[in-house]
């Protein structure tokens, strides 16, 4: 795919941060880790990856705004564009030596995500999408799964760290969904959960209590791969609701029906 200059910039930044993370991952037992709260960890690896990405992106586009998991929000001179960045999605996996984590970078224009890059550096899988140009993993064009029957479908979900406020609702979701599908996975990286929906590896994903940086890049990947996205709570903006349902065309409505049922 012939992407825009912005997409190429995002890919360059994701690869550079990915290289730094892979180095740290090899020596993960030596990393200094601090905790922001139960299950919410940060290390030198996350901070360095965000520094690298910020230097690349803001160096090239100083007027764009910024929203990053580790460095927060920073308005740019151009109020219509901002980068949304999670330098290390799947931090807990990373810190346990589990090779399931990714760099996630999105570009938002006038409130809409127009490009996204997710780099699974441990597996060298680079996912990218740009509005109207499709979604890809390395050189391969992505399409969401063609499975039509709920009973054959696999879904993924997540429970944010601590999980206190969203856990009861997610347990209820599981009780409703698990008996009617082939299985539910909880792999610990929202960005990769969305990338896997785009790649047709599973039919759908949902999560309650999720941040924009965890899902921004994944949302455009799913859309450009032919999937559907929406909030768990109907009628609300996905970012504002802090919840998401992403699925192939056949599973989206049945998932919405199940997950939007009153408690
Ligand atoms: C977390 C992961 C996890 C999801 C949480 C996220 P982090 O991101 O994506 O799968 O369930 O909601 O916060 O903290 O590893 O960047």
Kindly give the number of the ligand 1 atom that is closest to the alpha carbon of 93: 15
Determine if ligand 1 sits within 6 Å of the CB of residue 86.
Answer: yes
> 87 and 105 share a domain?
yes
Exposed / middle / buried, residue 139 (Cβ in 10 Å: 0-12, 13-18, 19+): exposed
What SS3 state is found at 102? Answer: strand
pLDDT tens for the chain, 263 residues: list them: 778 999 999 999 999 999 999 999 998 777 777 776 666 667 889 999 999 999 999 999 999 999 999 889 999 899 999 999 999 999 999 999 999 999 999 999 999 999 999 999 999 999 999 999 999 999 999 999 999 999 999 999 999 877 678 999 999 999 999 999 999 999 999 999 999 999 999 999 999 999 999 999 999 999 999 999 999 987 789 999 999 999 999 999 999 999 999 88
> 127 and 234 share a domain?
no
C-alpha to C-alpha distance for 134 and 258, rounded to whole angstroms:
29
Nearest CA to ligand 1 atom 12: 160
CA atoms within 13 A on the CB side of 18: 24
- Angle among Cα 110, 111, 115 to the nearest 5 degrees reads 85
Sign, CA dihedral 135-137-143-145, equals negative
Q: Which residue in 21, 2, 25, 23 sits closest to 13, CA to CA?
A: 21
> 162 and 134 share a domain?
no
pLDDT digits (tens, 9 = 90+) for 39-91: 666 788 999 999 999 999 999 999 999 999 988 999 989 999 999 999 999 99
102 CA → ligand 1 middle, Å = 11
Kindly give the number of the ligand 1 atom that is closest to the alpha carbon of 158: 11
What does DSSP assign to residue 142?
A: P
Determine if ligand 1 sits within 6 Å of the CB of residue 87.
Answer: no
Top mutation candidate among 120, 210, 219, 243 for ligand 1, by most atoms within 8 Å of CB:
210
- What pLDDT score was predicted for residue 246? 98
192 CA → ligand 1 middle, Å = 10
> Which whole-number Å values give the CA distances from 150 to 79, 90, 97, 170, in the listed order?
42, 28, 33, 19
- What pLDDT score was predicted for residue 39? 62
Kindly give the number of the ligand 1 atom that is closest to the alpha carbon of 69: 16
- How many domains is the chain built from? 2
Determine if ligand 1 sits within 6 Å of the CB of residue 90.
Answer: yes
Provide the whole-model pTM. Answer: 0.95
Nearest CA to ligand 1 atom 6: 160
Residues 6 or more apart whose Cβ sits within 8 Å of residue 128: 1, 3, 7, 10, 11, 115, 116, 117, 118, 135, 136, 221
Determine if ligand 1 sits within 6 Å of the CB of residue 46.
Answer: no
C-alpha to C-alpha distance for 191 and 218, rounded to whole angstroms:
6
> 23 and 134 share a domain?
yes
CATH number for the domain spanning 72: value is 3.30.540.10
C-alpha to C-alpha distance for 120 and 161, rounded to whole angstroms:
21
What SS3 state is found at 107? Answer: strand
Determine if ligand 1 sits within 6 Å of the CB of residue 89.
Answer: yes
Domain termination residue (choose one: 106, 141, 176): 141
> 15 and 135 share a domain?
yes
The distance between the two most distant Cα atoms of the chain, rounded to a whole number of Å, is: 51
Determine if ligand 1 sits within 6 Å of the CB of residue 49.
Answer: no
Domain termination residue (choose one: 141, 158, 189): 141
- Helical packing angle, 167-177 and 249-259, nearest 10°: 120
CB 184 within 8 A of CB 156: yes
Query: Domain range spanning residue 179?
Result: 150-259
- What pLDDT score was predicted for residue 37? 63
Q: Would you give the distance in Å from CA 132 to the centre of its chain?
A: 19
């Amino acid at each position: 795919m012939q992407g825009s200059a912005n997409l190429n910039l995002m890919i360059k930044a994701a690869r550079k941060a990915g290289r730094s993370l892979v180095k740290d991952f090899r020596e993960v037992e030596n990393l200094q880790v601090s905790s922001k709260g139960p299950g919410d960890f940060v290390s030198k690896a996350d901070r360095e990856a965000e520094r690298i990405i910020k230097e690349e992106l803001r160096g090239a586009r100083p007027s764009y705004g910024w929203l990053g998991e580790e460095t927060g929000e920073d308005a740019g001179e151009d109020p219509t564009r901002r980068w949304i960045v999670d330098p290390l999605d799947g931090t807990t996996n990373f810190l346990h030596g589990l090779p399931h984590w990714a760099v996630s970078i999105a570009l938002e224009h006038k409130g809409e995500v127009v490009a996204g890059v997710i780099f699974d550096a441990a597996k060298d899988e680079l996912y990218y999408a740009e509005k109207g140009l499709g979604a890809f993993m390395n050189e391969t064009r992505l399409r969401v799964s063609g499975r039509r029957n709920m009973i054959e479908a696999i879904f993924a979900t997540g429970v944010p760290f601590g999980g206190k406020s969203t856990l009861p609702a997610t347990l209820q979701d599981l009780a409703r969904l698990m008996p009617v599908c082939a299985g539910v996975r909880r792999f610990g990286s929202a960005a990769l959960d969305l990338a896997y929906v785009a790649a047709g590896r599973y039919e759908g994903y949902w999560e309650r209590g999720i941040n924009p940086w965890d899902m921004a890049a994944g949302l455009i990947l799913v859309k450009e791969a032919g999937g559907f996205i929406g909030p768990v709570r109907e009628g609300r903006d996905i970012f504002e609701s802090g919840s998401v349902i992403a699925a192939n065309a056949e599973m989206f409505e049945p998932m919405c029906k199940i997950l939007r049922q009153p408690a």
